[in-house]
Structure 1
Amino acid sequence: MLLYNGEFIPESELQLPLTNRAFQFNDGFFETVIVANGKLRFWQDQVERIQAASKVLKLVLPKTIVSGELEKQLLQLAKQNNAANYGRLKLKLWRSGGGLYTPETNQADWLATITPGTPAATTPLHIGTCETITTNYSPFSFFKGPNALLYVMAGLEKKDKGFDDMLLLNRQNQVSELTSSNIFWFKKEVLFTPAIDTGCVLGIVRQNILKWAKQAGIRTKEVYFDVASLLKADTVLSCNVTGIRSIASINGEAVSIDESFVQQLREQIFS
């Protein structure tokens, strides 16, 4: 089952016109949401990012989303698709109507899909530095969708080189993010992460880790560092809504791992 503009329909009945602006112009964005134990993980944070992205794109959100009714519908969709215990939900929003570059309306259409799954692995990652693309800071780089092709190309390079993930740099060769995760590193009691204007996504778990560190009295810095800085860290980790994982090597060079710190983060962020 799918949830299309607030209506539950079988996947076989979904029909989108050729004028669909998500298809024609990538005129929209998406959110990835994890359903775990009958709840939408970090849902309020995701709603806030939906609202921020819609404001930037000048999209008018449907009343279902604004009123809070959407959460109930998404959980119902999860139950229908046997994904209430654990599932990966994708919520896609795009501008309605046709038109060319100039839209006919700013009203938004939306579609939610969900598939059952299992929690992500926690084994350490071996990553490489992406050479084919760089991140680019813009009004659209903090949310998912408009820059999706960057991550597709990084994914192809990852596949070709046999790494678990790729480290993306900006045009100044500063560390930005991974293909679908934010990155942190811990050194001398300070927790570092790339600044948002390196072009990284304003990740939901990134925000929650920074909040947790502040409450725990751990110093944090949002920085502009190169790859060499990561190699000197006490531990390096990736994070997104699916989980937190240590990074074991970068371009074949081993980095330190403090798995106890990473496990502490998992317990605090995802409890």
Structure 2
Amino acid sequence: MPEPPRPHGLDPDGHFVREGSLTRVPDAFRPVVAAVRERLPQVLGARLDGAYLYGSIPRGTARAGRSDLDLFVVLRAEPTAADRAALQALGDALDRDFPQIDGVGPLLYGRERLLGAAERYDLGWFLACLCTPLLGNDLAELLPRYRPDSLLARETNGDLARLLPRWRERIAAAGYDEAALRRLVRFTSRHLVRTGFTLVMTRWNGWTSDLREMAEVCGAYYPERAPQLRAAARYGREPVADHGVLRGYVDDLGPWLAAEYARVHGVKAPRPEDAP
């Protein structure tokens, strides 16, 4: 009798299979990755605990000139303003030096926070399941194995209602700057599609990072929202400088998704940065 098909992105026991690998990095992006490996220790020195890649480059789906470099950096202590400025300067330099990337998205956290109970089902899960080790020891060895359950859904994306007012502020601040608007459309489109997917991943019982597949999966459970989700997946890959798209997100799709998420999974526990 043939073995039944394995749920997408999970091992036979139902745990996430870690996505991404340095062996999948497309040839065009290998010089960028080599530069990160060389320059990051020079910038952060002994404070650096480790570094990881995530997103399309380690998944092997990056497009030269269109994809950004997603970098997750861990320090031995909590980051300072000087650490953040140094990492941002490194990202800007990489963006200038390598035309095959369209920006650098660095994330910076302290080791203690990542391994703490408050982040176990958010940043901890993200590192253990969606990040590819590049430098230092792999903290995933100190974290649990994860399943696509409601606790994980709540703690990863159950904060959309708190984010929407900030998005409105960022949209207002962008004005009619086309580059800023495109960045906002790309960011918010991806965030909404991923939130839509994690809303239903417990029912689908699997994982994918492909925006189009995420949109289709969520749209199958909420067909009345499927056209909006498909459009958001498209704009997440091919952003436009369009205020109308952003207004639709913060006035319609976003509020609906936040309310449905709270109904199904509850609301994410507040973090220190959420304090007024």
Which TM-score applies when normalising by structure 1? 0.33
- TM-score scaled to structure 2, two decimals? 0.32
Higher helix share: 2
Tell me which of the two structures has the higher relative contact order, counting C-alpha pairs closer than 8 angstroms and 6 or more residues apart: 2
